[in-house]
Structure 1
Amino acid sequence: MSDASQARSALEGASARGFARVEEIGLRGAIVLRGDLSSSAVKNVATGIGGVDMPGELGINLVEERAVAWMSPDELLLMMPYGEVETALVQISKTLKKKHYLAENVSDARAGFIVSGPQAREVLAKLTPVDMSPDAFAKGTVRRSKLGQVPAAFWINDEGDIEVICFRSVAQYVFDLLANAAKTGSEVGCFAPSKSPE
C-alpha cells in the first residue's frame, strides 16, 4: 500500500446523476483473507478487524467503513479505513501464524462506487444477471458476479444504497457503465422505489 497521504482513488471522486446517483467511494482499506472459515482463529481475527459479526454464506456485515464479506467457501473480504490496513495485516499474521492462510492487501487494486436513490436496484438490474428484486437481494447479502463484461461484487449498505467494488484497472469502465444505466429517461420501472431521493 502506498503512503496514505499520497494515495489517490481510481477516479478521484467521479460522480454522475440521473434517475440514480453514481459516486466513487474513494480510498478504502481492503484485505482478502483466505483460509478455513470454520476456524475460530480465522473468525476471531476477521471479526476483530472488521468490527462486526461473522457473516454466513453469501453474507456481509458492515458498520460504516468496516465490513466482513463472504466471498467464497474459503475467502473473506475485510474492509476498514485505508490507513489501518498495515496494522490489520500484522494482527492477522500474529493470530494465524500457525494456521494455513493467505492475507493480501488489495486496497489499491480495487475501486468502489455507491449507487443511490429510490431506483438504485434498477441500475444494477440492467447490468448483471443477479436477481436484484428485494426478495432475492436484501441488506446483508453480497453477490460476486459481472457488471457488463467485468467481475464485480455488490451489496446494500446501512443507508440502503448499493455499494459496488471492482478491479481498479476497470474503474472507468464500471463508472461509465453505471452512469449510463442510471441516465434519466432510461428507467424501466421493474422495482417499486425503496427509499426517498436525496
Structure 2
Amino acid sequence: MSDIATALNGASFDGLVQVEELRAQGMITLRGDFSDSGLVKTITDLAEVALPGQRGAVMDGTRGLLWMSPDELLLLCTYAEAPFLLGKLEAALAGYHALAVNVSDARACFTLQGAATREVLAKLAPVDMSPESFGAGQVRRTRLAQVAAAFWLTGEEGAQIVCFRSVGEYMFNLLKTAAAPGSDVGFL
C-alpha cells in the first residue's frame, strides 16, 4: 500500500509525543436508525465488531466501529478491504433506510504515541482528558483548535485522530505545535 497517496505522505514528528500521519486507513460512514435491531445485526455481522454505545469506540484488530452521532457510525478497516466491504454492506443494507459511503480518501488520520498524549490533546480540544473522564473505548467528535475532528485513545499512551483531508496539513501543524519539546504544561 506504499503507493497510496495520503495528505502528507506519512509525515511524522518527534516531540512530547510521536505524531504520525497514518498511511491509507479504510473508513466507511454508516447512517441509519440504530434502534433497528435488524440493521444493527447486519452491520455488526459484516463489521465483525460489536455496536459501540454513545460516544463509544469498539476496536478489534484492524476493524472498528466508532459512534459519531445517534444516526452515524464510522467503520474502520484496512484501506484495501474498504471497497469490498462497502459492496457487501450496500447489498446487505438493501431494504433498510441506511447509507454506507467509503470516505477513506476524504479523511486524514494521525496517531499520537507517548506519555504526554492526553496533554497534547487537552491543549487543542475542549474535552476533559483526565483518565477519570476519558479513557480507551471512548470517542469524541469535536474540534481540535478550529478543525472538526474525531479522536479516541488507543491505549494509555496513544490516540488516533481523524479529520478532513483538506485540513490535514493544518492538523499536522497543530499537533506538532502542541507536541513541541518544552511546551509541556504538566497536565497530569
- TM-score under structure 1 length normalisation: 0.90
Counterpart residue number, 2:149? 152
State the Cα distance separating 1:148 from its structure 2 match: 1.0
Aligned with 2:30 (options 30, 33, 54):
33
Please identify runs of 4+ aligned residues in structure 1 that moved more than 6 A.
none
State the Cα distance separating 1:8 from its structure 2 match: 1.2
Report the identity percentage: 48
Counterpart residue number, 1:121? 118
Superposed counterparts of 1:45-194, under 5 Å: 45-158=42-155, 160-191=157-188
Aligned with 1:17 (options 14, 17, 35):
14
Bigger fraction of residues in strand: 2
Is there any run of 5+ residues in structure 1 with no aligned partner, and where? 192-198
Give the conservation status (yes or no) of the 8 Å contact 2:105–2:165.
Answer: yes
* Corresponding residue pairs, total: 188
Give the conservation status (yes or no) of the 8 Å contact 2:115–2:157.
Answer: no
Aligned-partner Cα distance in 2 for 1:68–1:131: 22
Residues 115-152 of structure 1: per-residue CA shift (max 9 Å, x gap)? 11011100010001111111111100000000111100
Residues 146-173 of structure 1: per-residue CA shift (max 9 Å, x gap)? 0111100000115741100000000000
Is there any run of 5+ residues in structure 2 with no aligned partner, and where? none
- TM-score under structure 2 length normalisation: 0.95
When the two chains are superposed, the root-mean-square deviation of aligned CA atoms in Å is 1.4
Aligned-partner Cα distance in 1 for 2:8–2:38: 37
